[in-house]
Amino acid sequence: MLSNLATRDVETLIHPYTNLSTFRETGPLVLERGHGVWVYDSDGRPYLEGMAGLWCTALGYSNEELVEAASEQMSRLPFTHLFSGRSHDPAIELAETLKELMPIPTSKIFFTSSGSEANDTQVKLTWYLNNALGRPAKKKIISRIKGYHGVTVASASMTGLPANHADWDLPLPGFLHVGCPHHYRFAEAGETEEAFSQRLADELEALILREGPDTVAAFVAEPVMGAGGAIAPPSGYFEKIQAVLDRYDVRFIADEVICGFGRLGTWFGSEALGMRPDSLSFAKAVTSGYMPLGGVSIDEPLYKALVSQSAKLGTFGHGTTYSGHPVACAVALKTIEIYKRDRIVEGVAEKAPHFQARLSALAEHPIVGEARGIGLIGGLEIVADKNSKRQYDPKAGVAARCVAFAQAEGLIVRFLAGDRIAVCPPLVISPDEIDTLFDRLICALDRTEAWIASEGLTATP
Ligand SMILES: Cc1ncc(COP(=O)(O)O)c(C=O)c1O
């Protein structure tokens, strides 16, 4: 029986990434407030937010300094835009701060309001750049199966997940996908991580050659795949991929929407994984999720092309009303100030070994096939048979059931396709809270194991 609020929800809202059919029975989890790494539902029940919302609330839920930064900017100048040369000091100061933080040579910053818009902007800028450079055929974009880059038309085309393509008439022509760098699932028997990485780099090279290097414009990748399964790359992966991209003058775009701002114990995931992208997209933790903000870094050659295009066309014809919203920029400035002052990124590096040790110990659990991560992000996969890695019928929804058990234990984690579960807590989580998180996750796995037995579920043939 759904509560009054839940019934009103079901009758009025369309929820993203929700089975709108079963949702009519299950209803929503309505959250009301948060404190530290904890959120509380409308009945006052606490949950450890093991997903930092959607991989974003890095500083937890009750940061008064962020609230004050937003409030002060709201009172002073709640809105002005950046169109037609209009500006405001939070955007200027934030762009300066970000330029200094960027792990790659950066000339300018372009702001958006989300990660999808940032990645859409990357596609458009890549096309625009190649038109400016007089190579109009060099337009194809390569990404990876299971990569996640958002839901707008171009970013969803780069995303490599079936739910974002089936019946959406996507991907658009000119968007190509190469293999997923998930060693546990896709390596051949006995293949080392290095050999697997080399095979994927060879596959990328073969695709570029097949399509024609003059037609391939960019390759986009998350340092650690998020929504595709919380998948850390195999060793040597980006080094080998980078060599191929360099060979064929293919622009490398890092989607740092999840990994940016400390998640891997470095300011950006690119630094942790030896990536040398030409540009990166950011969002989420830039404001600790308190305000919607994203953006892309613009390198000097791209900037020069944009300037010459404006001279030719009369304007830079791109941008949205809320690109660089002053309140979002003010909150981002305060967020970054706190990251620096409180040594949040260094703190992640210090806590990560404990987090990863607790995570990898889950691989011993009878229903867990793989438990692996980096920094404060981890993914685990439920399997029916550890040796053969065979899974349960996806229709049984085993990982979803485990996440529901976790919720009943007072823990929020996220299930992903392929019976995977992601863990990605706020960066401010304490070592004791890391223990609470994993203790509760073990209870959820135990309950899932018992449920599997009671249902008589077996591996798919
Ligand atoms: C790696 C990555 N890129 C892009 C996006 C899209 O961001 P948004 O949902 O803000 O549009 C996400 C969202 O989870 C993401 O994880």
Q: Please check whether the domain covering 4-62+343-455 is classified as CATH 3.90.1150.10.
A: yes
> H/E/C letters for each residue in 248-287?
CCCEEEEECCCCCCCCCCCCCHHHHHCCCCCEEEECHHHC
Q: For a pocket test of ligand 1, which of 258, 280, 320, 416 has the largest count of ligand atoms closer than 8 A to its C-beta?
A: 258
| Phi, psi torsion values for 149, nearest 5 degrees | -130, 5
Residue 222 CA: which ligand 1 atom is closest?
Answer: 1
pLDDT band at 459 (very low <50, low <70, confident <90, very high): confident
The domains of the chain are located at: 4-62+343-455, 66-341
Kindly state the percentage of the chain with pLDDT values over 90: 98
Average per-residue pLDDT in the chain?
97
Angle at 241 between CA 257 and CA 235, to 5 degrees: 80
Write the class of the CATH domain 66-341.
Answer: alpha beta
Q: What is the pLDDT of residue 461?
A: 74
pLDDT band at 230 (very low <50, low <70, confident <90, very high): very high
The predicted model scores a pTM of: 0.98
**Beta bridge partner(s), residue 47:** 39
Query: At which residue do the structure tokens 């703190």 appear?
Result: 347
Question: By the 8 A CB rule, do 97 and 333 touch?
Answer: yes
pLDDT tens for residues 66-111? 999 999 999 999 999 999 999 999 999 999 999 999 999 999 999 9
Cis ω for the linkage preceding 171 (within 30 of 0): yes
Q: What is the pLDDT of residue 2?
A: 80
What strands lie across the sheet with 251-255, from one edge to the other?
Answer: 108-112, 294-298, 279-282, 251-255, 216-221, 140-144, 175-178
Residue 227 CA: which ligand 1 atom is closest?
Answer: 16
Q: How far apart are CA 150 and CA 73, in angstroms?
A: 29
pLDDT tens for residues 156-200? 999 999 999 999 999 999 999 999 999 999 999 999 999 999 999
Residue nearest ligand 1's atom 1 by CA: 257
Please state at what angle helix 326-341 crosses helix 344-361, rounded to 10 degrees: 80
pLDDT tens for residues 121-167? 999 999 999 999 999 999 999 999 999 999 999 999 999 999 999 99
Q: What is the pLDDT of residue 205?
A: 98
Distance 160 CA to ligand 1 centre (A): 13
Q: For a pocket test of ligand 1, which of 119, 120, 148 has the largest count of ligand atoms closer than 8 A to its C-beta?
A: 148
Distance 457 CA to ligand 1 centre (A): 34
Query: What is the mean pLDDT of the segment spanning 56-69?
Result: 98
Distance 144 CA to ligand 1 centre (A): 15
Cβ atoms < 10 Å from Cβ of 271: 15
Residue 116 CA: which ligand 1 atom is closest?
Answer: 11
Question: By the 8 A CB rule, do 435 and 387 touch?
Answer: no
Q: How far apart are CA 98 and CA 294, in angstroms?
A: 12
Q: What is the pLDDT of residue 1?
A: 75
In this structure, the residues whose C-beta lies within 6 A of any atom of ligand 1 are 54-55, 114-116, 119, 148-150, 222, 226-227, 255, 257-258, 283
Distance 388 CA to ligand 1 centre (A): 33
